[in-house]
């Protein structure tokens, strides 16, 4: 009896997705003028497509990269896949309960210390206080910020903030579907290599991975397939 070849089921299916926004073309000086224009139907808008007719699939266990210049819709696409945005047309088929979105620069309060931000940012990601208590030292060690955790984040360089964000975001158990948003260009060259090693460990765990970046040279080191986005309008 011949062995039947198993078909790989896609983990992410993006079906002909378009995203259109309305942008005001009028110069409104204040809320009062905005309300008056709205009531009198004087407000004018132009349609702006962040994405237009985008389709692709990511198979289970596959590592796929998406590249594009600023304004090509990469972040919009991520928000649609993760469920934060509903597309104007088309649809995405994915089990969003299995998604872990790793993105840097969000969920930090500049007036809080780095120590406090570990717990704030970790809670936003979905970590429990017990998990953060148990992994706090590992997070700090990986970020190489042992002597700065009681400093306010507003006094940090952008590289220090990125290192802390990366260490927090990658501290948890790997999800079935990883979406990495520009997390491969963190800090100096030494830390970039350190980050790349951790990402590769996450990939080798068998997760389905979608990596979004504007850096072709970096992303080509770890992906199997590439999709390119261009500005829709």
Predicted local distance difference test score (pLDDT) of residue 4: 46
Q: What is the pLDDT of residues 165-182, one digit of tens each?
A: 889 988 887 778 988 887
- 203: its two tokens: 């990939």
- Give me the phi and psi of 12, to 5 degrees please: -135, 125
pLDDT at residue 186, as a whole number = 65
Count CB-CB contacts under 10 A for residue 31.
Answer: 8
How much is the pLDDT for 148?
A: 97
| Segment holding 112, helix H or strand E | none
> In the chain, what are the domains?
10-228 (3.40.50.300)
For residues 121 and 181, the model is more confident at 121
Residue 108: count of CB within 10 angstroms of its CB: 22
Helix (H) / strand (E) element for 196: namely: helix 189-203
Please, what is the average pLDDT of the chain?
Answer: 84
- The answer, yes or no, to whether residue 34 has pLDDT greater than 60, is no
What is the arithmetic mean of pLDDT over 150-155?
Answer: 96
State how far the alpha carbon of 88 is from the alpha carbons of 56, 77, 80, 96, in Å: 17, 12, 10, 19
């Amino acid at each position: 009896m011949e062995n039947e070849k198993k078909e790989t089921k896609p983990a992410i299916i993006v079906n002909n997705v378009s995203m259109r926004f309305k942008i005001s073309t009028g110069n409104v000086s204040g809320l009062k003028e905005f309300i008056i224009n709205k009531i009198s139907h004087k407000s004018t808008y132009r349609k702006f497509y962040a994405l237009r007719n985008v389709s692709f699939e990511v198979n289970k266990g596959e590592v796929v990269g998406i590249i594009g210049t600023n304004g090509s819709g990469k972040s919009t696409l991520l928000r649609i896949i993760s469920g934060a945005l509903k597309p104007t047309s088309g649809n995405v088929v994915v089990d969003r309960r299995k998604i872990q979105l790793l993105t840097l620069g969000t969920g930090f309060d500049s007036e809080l210390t780095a120590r406090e931000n570990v717990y704030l940012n970790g809670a936003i990601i979905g970590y429990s206080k017990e998990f953060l208590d148990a992994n706090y030292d590992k997070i700090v060690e990986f970020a190489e910020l042992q002597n700065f955790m009681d400093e306010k984040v507003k006094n940090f360089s952008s590289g220090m903030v990125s290192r802390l964000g990366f260490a927090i975001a990658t501290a948890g158990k790997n999800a079935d579907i990883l979406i990495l948003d520009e997390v491969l260009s963190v800090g100096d060259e030494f830390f970039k290599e350190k980050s790349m090693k951790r990402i590769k460990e996450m990939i080798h765990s068998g997760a389905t991975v979608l990596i979004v970046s504007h850096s072709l040279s970096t992303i080509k080191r770890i992906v199997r397939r590439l999709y390119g986005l261009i500005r829709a309008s």
